[in-house]
Amino acid sequence: PIARTLTLWGGIAIVAGTMIGSGVFASPGAVLLHTGSVGLSLIAWATAGLIALCGCLCYAELGMVTKPGSLAIILLVCGQYAAKPFYQDRLQPPELVSKLIALGALVAITTINAVSVAVSDRVNKWFTLFKTAALLLIGALGLYTLARDLDVAGSAANVNFHNAFRGSAAESPSFARFGVATMAALWSYDGWNNLNIVTAELVRPSVNLPRAVLAGTVLVLLAYVFANMGYFAVMHLNQIVDEATGESVQGFATDFGAIALGHVGLVVLPLCIAVSTFGAANGSSFTGARLICESAKNGDFPPYLAKIRSQDNPAPARACIFQSAIAMAMLAAGNFDSLLAYFSVAAWLFYFLAVSCLLVLRWSRPAAHRPFQVWLVVPVAFCCIAVALVIAIVSQQPVESALAVLGILSALPVYACRQCLRTRGYLVSAPLQGYTRVSLTDVIPAHGNDTDETSL
């Protein structure tokens, strides 16, 4: 059996570390744009966190998924902000420079994850501490400014917090606008599902998995709300959202650094964001390679990709390289907007399929051993929210969504052929078995305990 070396703290580091990336430094403008007020923006961030928490609890009963597309998006933002201190005279660094830095970061991350599980685990832990400290610093600067300027007429703290719900969207509530704002915030929470992939390496998974996802998600939710309060205490809303164009201001986090810390902030904040995204990409690579490795063991990928270095150091080197090759292709061919559009519809479609399998398994295997079990209302509510989000994404970005769906459907003929070969002419033995097999990598074992359990 694979050695269980991932502790509770390591699990929390994966959950929080893969969540805290580029989103909290880029999404606040989009959230504010659709809510129109400080108060409603903070509610949208908290709502997105609760949705992610519901997903975490559902996945704690199952176990699944990550995406090379997500890795490519995170690295692209990492490259942009790592180059930004050297291009302060322009809004964005050259795309080629950003992509070259992103490729260099990808090579470094692949090497770390292919060589040693212990080293990758330590990187996750230290980078999570750094990122959390950076968000707390932003919040602390905002709290200091709020206490100092709350009664100073015309200051950002005075204008934004004396009437926090002033704004067109708050005064004329729109469920659709709030939904779009929540969807924008949800990108910042992506990564909540990654710990489930490595339950085979988690110490006492039946205890530590639900504890880690709960603690990690709540930690990130509080840090995000605190950081957004910091933004609003220091910056006027027109510095976050351009009223003339009706779009969020690119790189406003750098402007926050300049306002709060002077010229030092123009260098410190971009580098903090680059470090944050590097850590998130490392966590995404750590978990994503294991999904490929397990899929290869199940016969869905070539068996060559199932190879690990050793039982004591179960680093899936070949899966890491395969994942990196896909991410490199995406980095070379796409930009942030196209990758995010493709990723969003694919991610939430599979989130829906995965959690709906929980409902199927509750009905088809009621006596199965479940070390952790959520209230039935949680997966039902999450499935409804996922459907609503997919519909919203498709309605806003139909072309990118169609390409994403076509990409997913293109795998079905390959899967069908493999199933035909396996069963000697029969596609699947039962409809429910086929449905859960397509949607899940690991399901709840029939029985198990903390010493021999490999998945939940």
The DSSP-derived string for 350-399 is HHHHHHHHHHHHHHH-TTS--SS---THHHHHHHHHHHHHHHHHHHH-HH
Residue whose tokens read 């997913």: 408
Nearest alpha-carbon partner for 321 in 294, 285, 291, 297:
285
User: Rounded distance, CA 272 to CA 180, Å?
Assistant: 28
pLDDT tens digits, 64-99: 444 455 666 677 777 777 877 777 665 567 778 888
| pLDDT at residue 66, as a whole number | 43
- DSSP H/E element including 275: helix 263-297
Name the burial class of residue 313, with classes exposed (0-12), middle (13-18) and buried (19+) by CB atoms within 10 angstroms of its CB. Answer: middle
Question: What does the alpha-carbon distance between residue 119 and residue 400 come to, in Å, rounded to a whole number?
Answer: 37
**44: closest CA among 184, 141, 146, 167?**
184
Q: Which of 160-164, 252-256, 450-454 has the lowest mean pLDDT?
A: 450-454
Tokens of 4: 């269980």
- Measure the CA–CA gap between 28 and 44, rounded to whole angstroms: 10
Poorest-pLDDT segment among 97-101, 340-344, 417-421: 340-344
How many CB atoms are located within 10 Å of the residue 284 CB? 30
Residues 202-234 pLDDT 10s: 788 778 888 888 898 999 999 999 999 999 999
Cβ-in-10-Å burial (0-12, 13-18, 19+) of 425 comes to exposed
Report CA dihedral (299, 344, 401, 413) to the nearest 10 degrees: 10
Q: What is the pLDDT of residue 256?
A: 87
CA distance 335 to 358: 35
Q: Give the pair of three-digit tokens for residue 238.
A: 């027109």
Residue 6 has pLDDT above 70, yes or no: yes
pLDDT band at 436; cut points 50, 70, 90? very low
Mean pLDDT of the chain: 77
Q: What is the separation of C-alpha 79 from the centre of its chain, rounded to a whole number of angstroms?
A: 18
Prediction pTM value = 0.76
Question: Over pLDDT 90: what percentage of the chain?
Answer: 9
Instruction: State residue 88's pLDDT score.
Output: 64
Angle at 406 between CA 404 and CA 407, to 5 degrees: 65
pLDDT of residue 230: 92
Rg (CA), the chain: 22
Pull the structure tokens for residue 16. 């929080």
pLDDT tens profile 160-195? 998 888 765 544 556 667 877 887 788 788 877 777
Per-residue pLDDT of 306-339, as tens digits, reads 887 766 667 788 888 888 888 887 777 665 555 6
What is the mean pLDDT of the segment spanning 371-386? Answer: 87
Within 8 A by CB and 6+ apart from 319, the residues are: 289, 290, 292, 293, 296, 305, 306
In 3D space, the residue among 198, 179, 218 whose CA is nearest the CA of residue 30 turns out to be 179
